[in-house]
């Protein structure tokens, strides 16, 4: 028991460091939301954006007990602020009234996806937490874009499979633990992830007809299903032929 007490006393200051950084992220959310008034047009937009960021912050506090976040994770935290604004603007269809601004925020969040990885490599600060943080934000952004596409283009609920496939994979790992095994590095996986977001962004532009928007979304779904299929097959073979 004394050992547990000492551990707790040391972990609290470390969490306090990251807590301060998360509060700075909240101030960034407020500042950007104030500047991007068309996206945060109502109290409901603010509440949803704040709720998303609060949930992300709680998860960071729960899974990062190591003190300051580091520059790579700080950039990823900045992505979480932008993605929270993307989520908030979906309420009341505020994003439709400012579609180009909304897409611009999403594009910046996408571009920062490469920046945090570059910083992690340059500073040799790779971590399982950072990789997971980045991946879960990618999945969240893709899901939000899918919701926007359903609302704007009136496509079927099948579009949600693009964003939901990651969560289905996680759910499938409960009865099949071998799905939790680490995957090898794959350019194909990264390329498919980028194409998903690019295809959804293109589909959401006012210049794209509903027909081509559907084709773009379908291409994202097919490429994603293929990529997941390759990974599942590889993990299955690895589990059965160690």
Q: What is the pLDDT of residues 59-73, one digit of tens each?
A: 998 888 777 888 888
Alpha carbons 205 and 208: distance in angstroms, whole number: 6
Structure-block tokens of residue 128 = 């399982």
The two structure tokens encoding residue 200? 């959804």
Number of domains within the chain: 1
**What residues make up the domain containing 150?**
2-240
Q: What is the pLDDT of residues 115-174, one digit of tens each?
A: 877 887 888 777 788 888 888 898 899 999 999 998 887 788 899 999 888 889 889 988
Angstrom distance (rounded) from CA 152 to CA 146: 10
94-108: b (≥16 Cβ within 10 Å) or e: bbeebbebbbebbee
pTM: 0.86
pLDDT band per the 50, 70, 90 thresholds, residue 236: confident
pLDDT band at 6 (very low <50, low <70, confident <90, very high): very low
Give one word for 93, left, alpha or beta, with left for phi > 0 and alpha for psi -120 to 50.
left
- Angstrom distance (rounded) from CA 148 to CA 160: 10
């Amino acid at each position: 028991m004394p050992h547990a007490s000492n551990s707790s006393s040391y972990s609290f200051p470390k969490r306090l460091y990251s807590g301060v950084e998360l509060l700075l992220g909240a101030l960034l959310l407020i500042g950007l939301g104030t500047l991007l008034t068309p996206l945060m047009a109502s109290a409901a937009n603010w509440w949803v954006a704040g709720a998303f960021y609060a949930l992300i912050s709680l998860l960071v506090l729960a899974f990062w007990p190591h003190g300051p976040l580091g520059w790579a994770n700080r950039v990823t935290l900045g992505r979480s602020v932008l993605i929270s604004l993307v989520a908030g603007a979906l309420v009341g269809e505020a994003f439709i009234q400012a579609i180009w601004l909304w897409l611009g925020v999403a594009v910046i969040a996408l571009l920062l996806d490469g920046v945090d990885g570059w910083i992690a490599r340059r500073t040799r600060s790779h971590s399982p937490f950072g990789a997971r943080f980045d991946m879960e934000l990618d999945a969240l952004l893709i899901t939000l874009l899918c919701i926007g596409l359903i609302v704007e283009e009136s496509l079927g609920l099948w579009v949600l499979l693009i964003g939901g496939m990651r969560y289905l994979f996680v759910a499938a790992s409960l009865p099949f633990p071998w799905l939790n095994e680490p995957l090898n590095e794959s350019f194909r996986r990264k390329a498919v992830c980028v194409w998903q977001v690019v295809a959804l962004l293109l589909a959401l532009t006012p210049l794209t007809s509903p027909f081509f928007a559907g084709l773009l979304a379908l291409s994202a779904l097919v490429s994603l299903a293929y990529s997941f299929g390759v990974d599942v097959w590889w993990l299955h073979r690895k589990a059965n032929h160690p």
